Structure 1
């Protein structure tokens, strides 16, 4: 049904994911920037408002929208509660503002505006009839009379005055309102979703020598991990490990009597997904670890959720219908030809009792949530049905919106994005394999500037227990420094597979990306105090991240030009509004771990309030060096054997000009 009084068209509101099929996401305290294309015929003035509310509220908060350019309008609100936010858009032609614009033009052209003033007085009286407040009605009638009675010049000034304009804006004609017609949803996420620093460690390798570590020996490492600036400790599966078809060292199909097996072969006579490996300790020990980590050190303990079973898992005996049976009567084990994983049985999500299976798998999350876990890393979610994740995570979020889920889905981009839409908070990414300047620039531009940013939060990992990239295999210590700086500054969420990374472990099975002596299949005796460790450098990088708000965001990334394809240069600002005095972080990295490189770095000085003729200082936070530069082009050397990267800090020029008040 068309209504001739509703002339405004509202198009392309955002953030909007799949036409509102899924919510957009924002972390607690992040800002939602609402935008829409708002159109009308002719040249009439428009007004537009964003109406938003929390799920627990009935009434909307009304925000005036601002016209940016080319029919694009915007408004902002902040996420201040862990409940869903809903917003929509309303717009209408503003007859008073349109009339006032025309009045001023005619008056400036020295035309008689008596009729126009009478028209304006009528508009004011119409607004008075809509005003429920007696004082406002009286004031509006008074303004209408003054327009009719005053000299034309005085009347024109009165018509544009703050008093009458404010009252007229307060009482528009609701019959002219155009509504978008749908409330769009913002899903809140915990603050740590926006900024976190992960350290992965196998608890069984935290003992003395090759003795089996425990939750207690891991607890002893917490002060060290916290002091280095990590706020998430991620543990691979902590459950009992099966013995049937147990894998030996280096994924050997023949396990010896002392081989500990893969933690991902979950389940034995000691229990399954709701139990802990007896050699790690008791459930009480685990709960103590979680509590101590959080309360004393500000660290969240994240655990791995892997929906698969060893042949010895209680589920195999109790619910054989949950697994895929082969024609010979055996259960189908996991395969990725030519690799075989006889120690792992995947679930059959298409089984006849899929409802029972889904419910049980959701209850695994609930079990660990009740024991204090608030962060989960989920193993291979892309090999489980997407509808399952949408249901499971959606149900969990109703009671526990504070939970963070990291998707370990190294798969096709659209599936990774769909998992994020289904409810995953973070995702592993292709960063692990993006090495060149062109690859990094193209990939980060896709993540930061296009649709995925409304629902897909990247978590950058230079290595994992499954992946020792070739770049790290052959680049030596400089390669580890380069990838660390990139991960920690390009993304506000990053992590490392701990001891292997800090000790620059780079020996791979020839021709693969698999670690030799992989910790997935054996206990490792890590000498964390050995010379050459990256621990001091890791600590420095994490401190720089904590002390500089510009690095606590991902979406503020902007690439800047250099004249060398081996040197990447980018900026992040602490304020997206680019206010005077806001912090600017500039990161320059030599991507060549073998050779020194020299590059000219180009800065947009006009945006930073710095004149080309001025000298200005930048402070390198990695080397603690200060450089005095002049102009937009400055040349810099990068020796990978010394320091292959620089993280510069400067401040935009303040309105109050004093010596060096906008430097450093």
Structure 2
């Protein structure tokens, strides 16, 4: 079989970035660059040229930038993104006959050879290029061709001029171009890269534990949340809660009168996923909450949990969307030996799958219509992956500003696949990485491997489901340690508050990661003014993050060795190096730890002989260090970390 064009001689291989051979889109946010590299070569010794072509979302117009060789047939180019939505990029390469001619001419001239015929060859190449152009470019090219046909000495100088070379690079012929298959990049809002999430239960915002909180109570909390520096307020499900098999306090199977049940048991006589729990308020109240939060630069994020209580309208209206057991009952959720009789999973293998998909997508669209653009998705790994790829693509095609956070604590390949399919951010294993080796290995994988092209980590030190042993046993210092790690390792992070800021560390029983008196099953009244709460630290660190661009992205993360495994040290910097942040943390919440840090000076743009100044942004103290080896000592009961800014 003949090739489509056998005269294409440029080969394009090993392109980065691309995910699974182009099956999935890479991710960026508005204003970021895409740096593209490829192996580009051809037969023989002819010179090649290559361009990186890109097309932003919402336009059919392609733009191009020339790629430059960086050694060993590797080429590089980059472009910046300015629009949300799906952009495209590709590479074109060709044998550049004029570049080859100009290089060979230079060699012949240096060797003292007669180049009269070669000048005529060059003139022909220029004239052919002129025929493809109009106006001023046409005239310039014709003038160059004419000068090459003049006296030899002047013609040689003209032929070898960089100006002519650049003109022909841009406007010269591009014969038999090789084109790489198009690749996609999804461009998200900046909050997809840099954000601070705060989670609370609206029903616990009332004046006491006997009074169900409302949206208006949440509005009253907004100034405090803004003062702490959070820009996303995440609410667990706000829908009606089922009565059947309702769970009691501490996940009891025998609820007492008045127990509110779990918000994740969605659906009741009042409605399902498009309804609001009546004790929280009205839809108008919710609109007011969204509007008041916006005034403080806070976005409301909602929980998307595609599961139903036995009382959900879907159960009666669409019984075919659920699994039936041989006795005719509907299969409730199980993780043997655990049973969740108050929740019915949705059956994504139903024959009516298309109608199911459309209905679930309409749930997200409904809340977008109410002013919500950020969603935390509950257990997405237990739903069909094909559904998520379709649904997210459908939603973001119309609403590219939408952010989806995947709450999936499961096997690595499943978590990675969800990110590839379209989830904007992802939960991580951070909660269970508490030693230096685990943190270093994991965050190196997240930020320094191809995984970073599609997986945006969002580390949480705690969630309503997870109270790690480190927080149970380490007291207030443990909460400080984990907070500083989350906020500086991750450009985006979240906390479940006010449990976190009040250092709530009581498990339901030893060996469990469940909270005692968990808000998932009861209303909690929090004394927000308890002495030693972490609000001042939280506000300080969030202010540091906003003032230092180095902490607003993940890719510059570098770990620096220490001689004490209880001490971890790492840095981040902006691309141009104008902002450099160095963090050191004592991972031991019980004891003072000290040791020597061996700095990677190149990563900090420092020389080994330099004395450099540092300011600890946590307390304002100034330090003077020199060279790579420097001493630190950290007391977990005063401040278990340094957040240094390197001064210019």
- The aligned runs of 1:2-151 (5 Å cut-off) are 3=5, 5-128=7-130, 130-133=131-134, 135-151=136-152
- The aligned runs of 1:159-558 (5 Å cut-off) are 159-180=159-180, 182-210=181-209, 211-294=211-294, 296-508=295-507, 509-558=509-558
Distance in 2 of aligned mates of 1:430 and 1:414: 13
Q: 2:633: which partner in 1? A: 637
Q: In 1, are the aligned partners of 2:573 and 2:604 still within 8 Å (CA)?
A: no
Deviation of the 1:289 alpha carbon:
0.6
Distance in 2 of aligned mates of 1:408 and 1:328: 33
The alignment partner of 1:88 has SS state of: strand
The alignment partner of 1:84 has SS state of: strand
Deviation of the 1:3 alpha carbon:
4.2
Q: In 1, are the aligned partners of 2:558 and 2:603 still within 8 Å (CA)?
A: no
**CA offsets 1:480-518 (integer angstroms, 9 cap, x no match):** 111111111111110000111101111112111111111
Return closer, same or farther for 1:137/1:365 CA change in 2, 3 Å cut-off: closer
Q: In 1, are the aligned partners of 2:96 and 2:174 still within 8 Å (CA)?
A: no
Distance in 1 of aligned mates of 2:22 and 2:565: 41
Q: 1:568: which partner in 2? A: 568
Distance in 1 of aligned mates of 2:599 and 2:67: 32
Deviation of the 1:223 alpha carbon:
0.4
Stretch moving more, 43-52 or 542-551:
43-52
Deviation of the 1:139 alpha carbon:
3.5
Q: 1:658: which partner in 2? A: none
Distance in 1 of aligned mates of 2:417 and 2:160: 51
The alignment partner of 1:599 has SS state of: strand
TM-score using structure 1 length: 0.93
The alignment partner of 2:84 has SS state of: coil
Return closer, same or farther for 1:145/1:500 CA change in 2, 3 Å cut-off: same
The alignment partner of 1:565 has SS state of: coil
Distance in 1 of aligned mates of 2:271 and 2:124: 81
Distance in 2 of aligned mates of 1:550 and 1:403: 25
Stretch moving more, 446-455 or 422-431:
446-455
The alignment partner of 1:586 has SS state of: strand
The alignment partner of 2:331 has SS state of: coil
Deviation of the 1:349 alpha carbon:
1.4
Stretch moving more, 137-146 or 431-440:
137-146
Distance in 1 of aligned mates of 2:138 and 2:257: 91
**CA offsets 1:307-342 (integer angstroms, 9 cap, x no match):** 111112222222222211111111111111111111
1:647 aligns with 2:646: no
Q: 1:657: which partner in 2? A: none
Structure 2, gaps ≥5 residues long: none
The alignment partner of 2:37 has SS state of: strand
The alignment partner of 1:501 has SS state of: coil
The alignment partner of 1:125 has SS state of: helix
Distance in 1 of aligned mates of 2:606 and 2:85: 43
Distance in 2 of aligned mates of 1:469 and 1:458: 19
Return closer, same or farther for 1:422/1:607 CA change in 2, 3 Å cut-off: closer
Deviation of the 1:12 alpha carbon:
2.4
Distance in 2 of aligned mates of 1:178 and 1:365: 42
Distance in 2 of aligned mates of 1:561 and 1:472: 26
1:603 aligns with 2:599: yes
Distance in 2 of aligned mates of 1:107 and 1:70: 27
Q: 1:623: which partner in 2? A: 619
The alignment partner of 2:499 has SS state of: helix
Distance in 2 of aligned mates of 1:301 and 1:517: 26
The alignment partner of 1:176 has SS state of: coil
Q: In 1, are the aligned partners of 2:301 and 2:374 still within 8 Å (CA)?
A: yes
Deviation of the 1:52 alpha carbon:
1.2
TM-score using structure 2 length: 0.95
Distance in 1 of aligned mates of 2:49 and 2:366: 51
Return closer, same or farther for 1:69/1:594 CA change in 2, 3 Å cut-off: farther
CA RMSD in angstroms, aligned pairs only = 1.9
Q: 1:656: which partner in 2? A: none
Structure 1, gaps ≥5 residues long: 652-661
**CA offsets 1:351-374 (integer angstroms, 9 cap, x no match):** 222222222211111111111111
Q: In 1, are the aligned partners of 2:105 and 2:115 still within 8 Å (CA)?
A: yes
The alignment partner of 2:580 has SS state of: strand
Return closer, same or farther for 1:265/1:484 CA change in 2, 3 Å cut-off: same
Deviation of the 1:32 alpha carbon:
1.6
Distance in 2 of aligned mates of 1:397 and 1:142: 51
The alignment partner of 1:188 has SS state of: strand
Distance in 1 of aligned mates of 2:606 and 2:404: 43
Deviation of the 1:43 alpha carbon:
3.6
Distance in 2 of aligned mates of 1:110 and 1:65: 33
Deviation of the 1:145 alpha carbon:
4.2
Distance in 2 of aligned mates of 1:441 and 1:156: 58
Deviation of the 1:272 alpha carbon:
1.4
Distance in 2 of aligned mates of 1:371 and 1:643: 43
**CA offsets 1:435-462 (integer angstroms, 9 cap, x no match):** 1111111111211122222221111100
The alignment partner of 2:85 has SS state of: coil
**CA offsets 1:280-311 (integer angstroms, 9 cap, x no match):** 111111111111111x2111111111111111
Deviation of the 1:113 alpha carbon:
4.2
Q: In 1, are the aligned partners of 2:562 and 2:598 still within 8 Å (CA)?
A: yes
Deviation of the 1:133 alpha carbon:
2.2
Q: 1:654: which partner in 2? A: none
Q: 1:587: which partner in 2? A: 583
